[in-house]
Structures are given as C-alpha cells and as structure tokens.
A = this chain, B = another copy of it.
Amino acid sequence: MLTVAVVGGAGYIGGELIRLVLGHPDLELAAVTSRRLAGRRLDGTHPNLRGTTDLSFVAPDQLGRYDVLLLATGHTETMHSMPDLLGRADVVIDLSADFRLADPAQYRRYYQVEHPHPELLDSFVPGLPELHRKRLVEADRISVPGCMATAAILALQPLADAGLVAGLVTVDARTGSSGSGATPSPANLHAERSGAMRVFAPSGHRHQAEISQSIGGRPVSMTATGVEAVRGVQVVCRVPVVEGVDERTLRLRYREFYRDERFVRVVTTRTGLYRLPEPKILTGTNYCDVGFAVDEQHQQVLAIAALDNLVKGGAGNAVQCLNIRFGLPEHAGLDFIGLHPV
C-alpha cells in the first residue's frame, strides 16, 4: 500500500481525491490537511464518506512524509508552498494551476502574479496520460491540467497533431457549478445560479493558455459559460480545417488516436439522444467522451468533448497519473461506469 496525503481537502476537488483514494485498492489515505477544519472529521464536510473513514483533517504543519502528495490547494497559493511540499513525498501531483504553464510570463498575463519559482516550471510533467504517458512513468512532479483545458485538449489534439488545423481555433466551454468551488459567494447562490446561462469569461479564460500550449502554440479564443448542472464540462471547439477533411477521415483519425485509451471514448453514433459527448452520463466517472461533426459548408470541424470536471477534469485524472507512475493498473480505483439517468 502506498501512503497518500491530500493537501487542501476541504473543497470539492479535495473531497473527490479523498473519495478516490479511499476506494483505491492500493492506496492508503494517510492524512488530509485543512487549515480551517483541522481536528474535524472528514465526513462532516464530505457527507458521502460516512461509514468509509473515521479520519479527521490535520493542520498543514502536521504533515509528515508520504509516498505521494496530492495537492488541491488554491491557485497562486500553491506556487509558494511547493518547495516545502516537494520534500515531503517521492511524488507530488499538483491539481492547482500553478505549474501548468511553461512560460512564467503567462502567469503574469493570466493570473496577474509574478511566479515565485519559475525555475520549477520545467520540472513538472503535464498530468494528461493520453498525451504524456511515457514521461509520467518516471515523473516525480506532475501538474494536472484544468478541467476545461483537459476536455479541449483531448478534443483538439488529434486534429492538431495531424496538421489539420487551418486557422484560429475557438472553444466554447460550458461548465457546471462545482467548478466554482465550495466557498459561498453571490455567484454561486442557488437562486442566482439555477437555470443560468452565464458567460463569465467572454474571452481570454485562463484555460485558453493551457490549450494553446498543448496544441503547439496555435492561437485559441475561448469563451466560458456557466450553465445549470453541478458537475460537468462540455467544450465545443470550432476548427477551420485544411481541405479534404471529411467525416470518414476524422472517424479514422480519432479512433486511431485513442485506440488503446480506456478513458477516452470516441462517440460516433449516428442516432440517439447522446450521439455527441455530454457530461451528464459521465458524472462520477473518469471518462472523457470525444466526438465531432463536420460543417462542410464552412470547411470547419466541430470537435466536442465532455467530462466530469471533478474526476477526469481533476481528481480522477490525478489518480490515473499516480497509477501510471507507480506501475499500478491504470484504471485502479477508477472503475465507476457512470449512471443513466442522473
């Protein structure tokens, strides 16, 4: 059994990390930190855990040494604590944004901060198994991408790598309310958020930088909208394509690209309600569903992906990386099939 500590376990991503570690056959949940909740039981904050653990939160300074640290602390906060944390485990997997971008200038632009440890940026491997599995096998520092970035990258990479992209890629991302976290604010009041179609980032969303970085620096313009759902991200990427791209080409391309991937399902059914990727049926799972449609009239492809923002868009992806790093079955602890309806 590998010992795992979750740093920053009070929020929604932290709760999912705890849930997945508790249900994992090869992991032992050794500690969960929360400054605010130190001394209180985990299942007081995460009531789904009742009956599965008697652990309580500990203060960050009570952290010992573990095989793995899973970091769910806040953006622009984790960058400061990283040097200390790196010494506390063989492997550190960070779910914050703080080590996702290779270029420190991007942190100035997208996060309005000067990164205090630019020298560490290069040492993190992107925590996206479908693209970086080989490096993850030996990675001691892993940085898991953002939820909307993960979906967009998995939708776009097969096109980008094949040289099919012919112009500005636009990404229309929709997200459920859990993406805003567990801290109450007017924006996530039920009465305000219910039934919302809220364009909270008309352009320049932070995940735009991650997507662009992954597809070779190509320009990306991203819009993010909050819609009614608790979990789930869907991206609709509009891609101008080179001549000759048709449905058959794409079908082959996507199938080949994700042939051996258990957690990416290429959805190519022609009928039915769920013929394009939709996050609803992915709730709680580690799947990312990917699909596409061709707009022949305008020589465009719509590449669509969906995932559960807290699982494949966060905690599940982190556990998948952990499995790879330690030679465990890649799907260990990630077997949940998903519900219909839900």
Residues of A within 8 A of B (CB): 12, 15-16, 19, 22-23, 44-52, 168, 170, 172, 174, 176-178, 180, 182, 184-199, 202-204, 219, 221, 223, 225, 227-232, 234, 236, 238, 262, 265, 267, 269, 271-274, 276, 278-285, 287, 289, 293-295, 297-298, 300, 302, 304, 306, 335-342
Cβ–Cβ contact A229 & B195, under 8 A: yes
When the two chains form their complex, are residues B189 and A184 in contact, meaning their CB atoms are under 8 A apart? yes
Q: How many copies does the complex hold?
A: 4
B residues within 8 A CB of A16?
Answer: 339
Task: For the complex of A and B, list the 4 residue pairs with the smallest distance between their C-beta atoms, beginning with the closest.
Answer: A202-B293, A203-B295, A184-B184, A190-B193
Distance, CA A51 to CA B340, complexed state (A): 14
The answer to whether B191 and A189 touch across the interface, beta carbons within 8 angstroms, is no
Q: Is the CB of B190 within 8 A of A230?
A: yes
Tell me if A198 and B278 are in contact (CB < 8 A): yes
**28 residue pairs A–B, Cβ–Cβ below 8 Å:** A12-B191, A19-B339, A23-B336, A47-B340, A48-B338, A48-B340, A49-B337, A51-B265, A172-B172, A178-B191, A178-B341, A182-B186, A184-B185, A186-B273, A187-B273, A188-B191, A191-B230, A195-B342, A196-B278, A196-B280, A197-B232, A198-B273, A202-B295, A202-B304, A203-B300, A221-B295, A221-B297, A283-B342
Report the Cα distance A17→B40, complex, angstroms.
Answer: 37
Interfacial chain B residues near A238, Cβ < 8 Å: 170, 221, 223
- Distance, CA A12 to CA B186, complexed state (A): 13
Of the candidates A189, A262, A335, the one having the most CB atoms from chain B within 10 angstroms of its own CB is A189
Q: Which residue of B lies closest to A295 (CB)?
A: B203
Contacts A335-B23, A337-B23 given: A195-B295 contact, CB under 8 Å? no
CB distance from A241 to the nearest CB of B (A): 13
| A279 interface neighbour in B192, B197, B262, B265, Cβ under 8 Å | B197
